[in-house]
Structure 1
Amino acid sequence: MTAIGGTRVSNSFSNSGAAAPQVDVAIIGAGPAGLTAGYLLTKAGLSVAIIEKDETYVGGISRTVEHEGYRFDIGGHRFFSKSQQVVDLWNEILPDDFIQRPRMSRIYYEGKFYSYPLRAFEALWNLGIWRSTLCMASFAKAQVFPNRQVKSFEDWTVNQFGWKLYSIFFKTYTEKVWGMPCDEMSADWAAQRIKGLSLWGAVVDGLKRSLGLNKRPNDGQEVKTLLETFRYPRQGPGMMWDAARDKILASGKGEVLMGHALKQLAGDGQGGWRMTATGPDGEAVIAARHVISSAPMRELAARLHPLPDTSLNAQELRYRDFLTVALKIRADDLFPDNWIYIHDSKVKVGRIQNFRSWSPEMVPDETVACVGLEYFCFEGDGLWSMADDDLVALATRELVQLGLVSASNVIGGAVVRQEKAYPVYDADYASHVAAMRHELEALYPTLHLVGRNGMHRYNNQDHAMMTAMLTVENIKAGERVYDTWCVNEDAEYHEAGDEGATSVLPASPRREVSDDQAAALASVREVPERIAPAKRRDAA
């Protein structure tokens, strides 16, 4: 295999012996939040310097990796937002390169595809008479003898669907993604995540249909209609963030320092900052009036000088990582979906992307399919530490095991590791984040946290952008007139409803986001929490 490579953006901050250049805002991280902030600040005439530890790509988890002409996402990113302001910014940065794509995701189990979200009657039909009978018997048992002390995800889901359906469609995939047993996850997350699916309703509906009594079946599913299509940059989401970087550089007001990792961030005693970053040519030192950080909160806390009192809280924050093995296969596309979920405990892969279904331009050869097998792991564990060639071999074996491909048709592969992909919501994360946030806001009014990892919040791409947009407004106003922590709290499912359904931010700054704006961006990004130890003891 060949190394994945690219070009670096040159910078003028590499000589640590020189006086530190002064900019209005220093930005840590060139992901969606950092680049959104950089673009809007330079557009407003302010100077910025952005450091990014990746040597090749901007965009963070929303980047597009290229390997031998093949392009692939790190997880897949549909461009949809209910905020008109976010939609307008996407169109402004990338006006001519969006395409409209069909939306399709399904579950793959034992050689058959199942709708996602799950349709109960279809699932029973696909499982066959014998297994469906067992599922219904298990469901009946759960209805007659439910668990009266519901503590965990497992308790709640078994009560709703019975053990058999739970073990097929919920247990395996959930444990792959989050790396913890379902009997240790909070039942609250299950109640939020699995909505509107009635197994009994599906059975009654199926009987009515068979008797011709129901012409408009709901299949036991009462959820809002999902998007049928979505917009997508024709060569992947990295196009958006490459364009944002280029506009920042073209403005003459911004620099992007690739391959530079934060070493230290220290106050200058006058309300400003002195930031040191290590890069391929030594250290870069930047002086700034403000700092915007999308770095993981845990890493920022360890590099602040002096260390905040809550740095120990931040060190307790945890993250879930994953890696993608992209395989080139001499064959037609294996399935038409954007991705499929793998509900099979015999393989480690959790989800498989079909990159041509995202955009035909992602795959340059019409005779070759390119799929990405996603493995959820923790940095440093067995999967993460495997050699790339071994991971390609594992992914090939698992595709063969799933019956999706012949090994002889796999003609190459590449591996991309993504650290800190998901902030972990354990029993103590909220108190740790709150302590860190309140101390930093009290002591450092010119330090601003944005984005998924910067705020340790499971944000979508548009949420991350909105935290940056509000932060830019705060910097321009000279005070915290918007509460960025209002973004992404509670609301309906992200991909239901209309794009750009709400207006831009109110013209007059207020202390928090308007209700409709907060609702527009507050999609339910549920993350399972562990049951507190006391609750587990009670359950035992």
Structure 2
Amino acid sequence: MGSTDSKVRCVIIGGGPAGLTAALELSRAGVEPIVFEMDRQVGGISRTVDYKGYRFDIGGHRFFTKVDRVHNWWMDILSEEFLVRPRLSRIYYQGKFFDYPLKPMNALLNVGFFESILVGLSYVKAQAFPSREEKNLEQWVTNRFGKRLFEMFFKTYTEKVWGMKCTEIGADWAAQRIKNLNLGKAALSMLAPKLLTGKNQITTLIEEFYYPRLGPGQMWERVTEMLEERGHPVHLEHRVKTIHRDGEQVIGVTVVDASGKEERYEADHVISTMPVRELLNVLDPLPPADALESANRLRYRDFLTVGLVVESPELFPDNWIYIHSPEVKVGRIQNFGNWSPYMIPDKSTSCIGLEYFVQEGDDLWTASDEELIELGKNETAKLGLIDADKVIDGVVIRMPKAYPVYDHGYKENIDSIREYVDQVPNLHLIGRNGQHRYNNQDHSMVTAMYAAENILGANHDVWDVNVEEEYHEEAGTEKSHGASGERLVPQRVREASPIELLNDAFAKYDPVALGGALGVMIGFAVFLATAILLVQGGENVGETLALLGNYLPGYDVTWAGSIIGSLWGGVFGFVIGFVTAVAINVTVSIHLGKLLRRLGVLEGSLG
């Protein structure tokens, strides 16, 4: 089929946010877009599934962005259909709900006094005797929060999502994904919140967000209607079998429809949102062996949602809950009525979605729908969130390749692929799977807008879209780490050289960090001990503890005294920690110098 009229024709592979954004932008600019979507529904993982009138969001998609262009685009498409929704998300652990993000007082009350002391001691231990190397997530988190908090709030959920042990996930991911959260600052903010202001505050998550009345899929269903009105219908259930190229140009695609019929479409440009691993394998002729091998090494994490209809008008107030309890497999639970009440046709019922992070072909992925619905019903009841007998219906939605995985060698593989793709100027890779990049919806849309403008003559670097800059999970003003624009997912640990191992093993203490940790914990202990005595009351309250006044000027067992005592405790703890760290660093430096000199002599003799 040849090009019609004299228009530029662009074939777009994929009907998700990136593909449909590119199609509408090109259509408005006079370019003919032809969109092929392999599934029977548009939206990708931002779709909304309709099951007997109940609408299911696949993963939970807030409409919040720092990119004005994207925000305005959303408002232009669905301005009257947006709701402003309050955000409530919590962590479920050991039968209790913890605020997310974590709030010190809430966490303290939930774990209890004695567990709080153990958490504090674990934190002090981590500061005094940190792991000498920080190669993996467990070491990185434990060094900053202590072993007990790591096991409570990091270990189980991370391993559920990524299917890897925390000891296999690189520390770099933790360093950039868990930034601006500090246990010392958290405790200080609870004791004296006014002392933490401006850029030093712990970043918080947004409290409200926009959400389409009928779920995120409503956005992409409307864009599809607009394209059809403009004469560019989206072709559903059309799988791209071959992308034809002639030298350094793509010239068309061959697609297969639901009936098995093949048809070839010529194209001046091809925009692809399909998984880049599959893209390189359908090129004809195939790309060079090194690029193809790099593509075949890319990995993905898959995802399924078990939707349950419950005969109860109210279940829990959250939009979603993170499930950190290791005794169940479910990772997150959405309550769709709390996203939008219009997603529930029968107001005497509720609709929830249980999210399982899986690998295509594993036991959960291959289980029958009936088995998965029964599993979801039993696990939610086990957590105490629903009455299993009130579940009246269910449905299962499977989403392959939902999360591109950044494992060891990922960057080298992408670099090899880009080196080849950059030689094909009319092949444009955009979106999450198109670039094998863990973008959110808004930044996938920016890549689409840039690609469309490039077709019209611009020169944007689509790979340079910065998905971390002041991202929507942050309220602070600090720029995030890294200029590459990566929204990080776990990277497996790499092997270190002997010299790197020695430097890691003899890593220096941070005197300020150790002093601060001891100061906060000692000060907090004095405050807490005093507060407990005051709450208990009685005659001669705190008579023994009052002896501290001999060492801490101004301290007595009163509320004012508790503040004075905590400040003195902080000062003494800081001094002790600072001096201890400096002394250890001097001793360690002497021994490290000797070992490095010996290693240098050994390497010289072997070389």
DSSP-derived class of the 2:433 partner: coil
Please, which of 123, 130, 133 is the counterpart of residue 149 of structure 1? 133
Deviation at 1:353, TM superposition (A): 0.5
Which digits, 9 at most, give the CA deviation of each residue in 1:96-136, with x for residues without a partner? 21111111211111222111112234212211123222222
DSSP-derived class of the 1:526 partner: coil
Aligned match of 1:139? 123
Aligned match of 1:420? 401
Measured in 2, the distance between the counterparts of 1:386 and 1:107 equals 27
Aligned match of 1:311? 292
Is it true that 1:246 corresponds to 2:236 in the alignment? no
The answer to whether the 8 A contact 1:493-1:524 is kept is no
Deviation at 1:489, TM superposition (A): 5.1
Aligned match of 1:287? 266
The answer to whether the 8 A contact 2:301-2:405 is kept is yes
Which digits, 9 at most, give the CA deviation of each residue in 1:237-256, with x for residues without a partner? 1111111111111112x232
Which digits, 9 at most, give the CA deviation of each residue in 1:234-273, with x for residues without a partner? 0011111111111111112x23211011100012569451
Query: In structure 2, do the counterparts of structure 1 residues 224 and 200 end up closer, same or farther at CA, with 3 Å as the change threshold?
Result: closer
Query: In structure 2, do the counterparts of structure 1 residues 366 and 523 end up closer, same or farther at CA, with 3 Å as the change threshold?
Result: farther
Is it true that 1:29 corresponds to 2:14 in the alignment? yes
Aligned match of 1:510? none
Please, which of 227, 249, 252 is the counterpart of residue 206 of structure 2? 227
DSSP-derived class of the 2:392 partner: strand
Is it true that 1:96 corresponds to 2:80 in the alignment? yes
DSSP-derived class of the 1:413 partner: strand
Aligned match of 1:45? 30
Measured in 1, the distance between the counterparts of 2:454 and 2:187 equals 54
Which digits, 9 at most, give the CA deviation of each residue in 1:288-308, with x for residues without a partner? 111000000000000001111
DSSP-derived class of the 1:403 partner: coil
The AA in structure 2 aligned to 1:237 is: P
Unaligned 5+ runs, structure 2:
506-607
Measured in 2, the distance between the counterparts of 1:331 and 1:185 equals 41
Is it true that 1:409 corresponds to 2:390 in the alignment? yes
The answer to whether the 8 A contact 1:492-1:522 is kept is no
Aligned match of 1:124? 108
The answer to whether the 8 A contact 2:248-2:425 is kept is no
Please, which of 396, 400, 411 is the counterpart of residue 430 of structure 1? 411
Measured in 2, the distance between the counterparts of 1:407 and 1:268 equals 59
The answer to whether the 8 A contact 1:173-1:343 is kept is yes
Measured in 2, the distance between the counterparts of 1:249 and 1:473 equals 22
Deviation at 1:523, TM superposition (A): 7.7
The answer to whether the 8 A contact 2:37-2:234 is kept is yes
Which deviates more, 256-265 or 41-50?
41-50
Please, which of 162, 183, 199 is the counterpart of residue 183 of structure 2? 199
Whose helix fraction is larger, Structure 1's or Structure 2's? 2
The answer to whether the 8 A contact 2:89-2:321 is kept is yes
Aligned match of 2:449? 469
Measured in 2, the distance between the counterparts of 1:323 and 1:534 equals 36
The AA in structure 1 aligned to 2:361 is: G
Please, which of 298, 316, 326 is the counterpart of residue 277 of structure 2? 298
Which digits, 9 at most, give the CA deviation of each residue in 1:180-211, with x for residues without a partner? 000111111112222333333444554x4xxx
The answer to whether the 8 A contact 1:80-1:231 is kept is yes
Compare CA radii of gyration and give the structure with the larger one: 2
Please, which of 426, 441, 448 is the counterpart of residue 422 of structure 2? 441
Which digits, 9 at most, give the CA deviation of each residue in 1:482-528, with x for residues without a partner? 11111025422323359xx9xxxxxxxxxxxxxx9x99x99873211
Please, which of 437, 450, 456 is the counterpart of residue 457 of structure 1? 437
The AA in structure 2 aligned to 1:388 is: D
The answer to whether the 8 A contact 1:205-1:214 is kept is yes
Measured in 2, the distance between the counterparts of 1:380 and 1:330 equals 33
Is it true that 1:186 corresponds to 2:148 in the alignment? no
Q: Which has the higher contact order (CA 8 A, sep 6+)?
A: 1
Deviation at 1:332, TM superposition (A): 3.4
Unaligned 5+ runs, structure 1:
1-18, 502-515
Deviation at 1:333, TM superposition (A): 2.7
Deviation at 1:217, TM superposition (A): 8.0
Query: Pairwise CA RMSD of aligned residues?
Result: 2.6
Measured in 1, the distance between the counterparts of 2:209 and 2:110 equals 28
The AA in structure 2 aligned to 1:240 is: M
Is it true that 1:237 corresponds to 2:199 in the alignment? no
Is it true that 1:273 corresponds to 2:251 in the alignment? yes
The AA in structure 2 aligned to 1:54 is: D
Deviation at 1:35, TM superposition (A): 0.4
The AA in structure 2 aligned to 1:401 is: K
Deviation at 1:424, TM superposition (A): 0.4
The answer to whether the 8 A contact 1:494-1:523 is kept is no
The AA in structure 2 aligned to 1:461 is: Q
The AA in structure 1 aligned to 2:235 is: L
Measured in 2, the distance between the counterparts of 1:58 and 1:35 equals 9
Deviation at 1:331, TM superposition (A): 1.6
Query: In structure 2, do the counterparts of structure 1 residues 346 and 435 end up closer, same or farther at CA, with 3 Å as the change threshold?
Result: same
Q: After the TM superposition, which residues 361-400 of structure 1 pair with which residues of structure 2 at under 5 Å, given as runs?
A: 361-400=342-381
Measured in 2, the distance between the counterparts of 1:299 and 1:535 equals 35
Identity %: 49
The answer to whether the 8 A contact 2:55-2:215 is kept is yes
Aligned match of 2:158? 174
The answer to whether the 8 A contact 1:121-1:199 is kept is no
Measured in 2, the distance between the counterparts of 1:215 and 1:267 equals 63
Aligned match of 1:5? none
Aligned match of 1:531? 493
The AA in structure 2 aligned to 1:257 is: H
The answer to whether the 8 A contact 2:91-2:323 is kept is yes
The answer to whether the 8 A contact 2:101-2:204 is kept is no
Which digits, 9 at most, give the CA deviation of each residue in 1:308-352, with x for residues without a partner? 111111010111111000111112332211111001100000000
Which deviates more, 80-89 or 350-359?
80-89
Please, which of 488, 491, 504 is the counterpart of residue 466 of structure 2? 488
